[in-house]
Amino acid sequence: MLKRRIKVYLDTSVISHLEQPTKSTEFDGSHLFWNNAEKLDIVLSDTVFSEISNCSKDKERKLLSYINEIRYENLEIISEIKELTKDIISRGIIPPSSKDDATHIATALYAECDYLLSWNMKHLACVRANDGVRILTLENHMKELKILTPLMILSIFDEVI
């Protein structure tokens, strides 16, 4: 039986931690994930590339090099994503001061991803965000989206791939 490919949106933290060896859990987890990324359909967005451009030039070059190793779909932040971002913020799922985090969720929802991966456990990979996104998707008849850390999705690879 053919298993369908899982569609995963990566926020910037997953890529950024490929170059942060001082945070060993995130560094190791990002590298373990990266070594398995070819098993998934990866989605990135203009927001990811914008955030990467704010890094030092050396780190930016290294992160873009990692990205060039994988196959991915890049999404432009279009009006539908901007409206969904506003809705996410107005519902209190993400605070207004973290608009990029809301945009990551909106982009993953728009792209109908199965998962959004993040090391941001304050705003994204947390119960509050997952509960808020679940309510949003149910109310709007959208595809379910789960927000996990890279280590969490690695634990289910055998089940979903």
Residue 106 in any domain: the answer is: yes
Residue 89 in any domain: the answer is: yes
CB atoms within 10 A of CB 52: 20
3-state secondary structure labels for all residues of 66-105: HHCCCCEEEECCCHHHHHHHHHHHHCCCCCHHHHHHHHHH
Q: Say if residue 160's pLDDT is above 70.
A: no
Q: What value does the mean pLDDT take over residues 125-135?
A: 97
- Strand locations in 24-65, DSSP E? 41-45
Over residues 100-109, the pLDDT tens digits come to 999 999 999 9
Domain count for the chain = 1
Structure token digits, residue 106: 């909106």
Report the CATH number that the domain containing residue 60 is assigned in CATH.
3.40.50.1010
Over residues 36-64, the pLDDT tens digits come to 898 899 999 999 999 999 999 999 999 99
Mean pLDDT score of the chain, rounded to an integer?
93
Residue 115 in any domain: the answer is: yes
pLDDT at 131: 98
73 membership: H or E segment, kind and range: strand 72-75
pLDDT at 161: 46
* Domain carrying residue 70: 7-160
CB 142 within 8 A of CB 114: no
The pTM (predicted TM-score) of the whole model is: 0.94
Over residues 1-15, the pLDDT tens digits come to 456 789 999 999 999
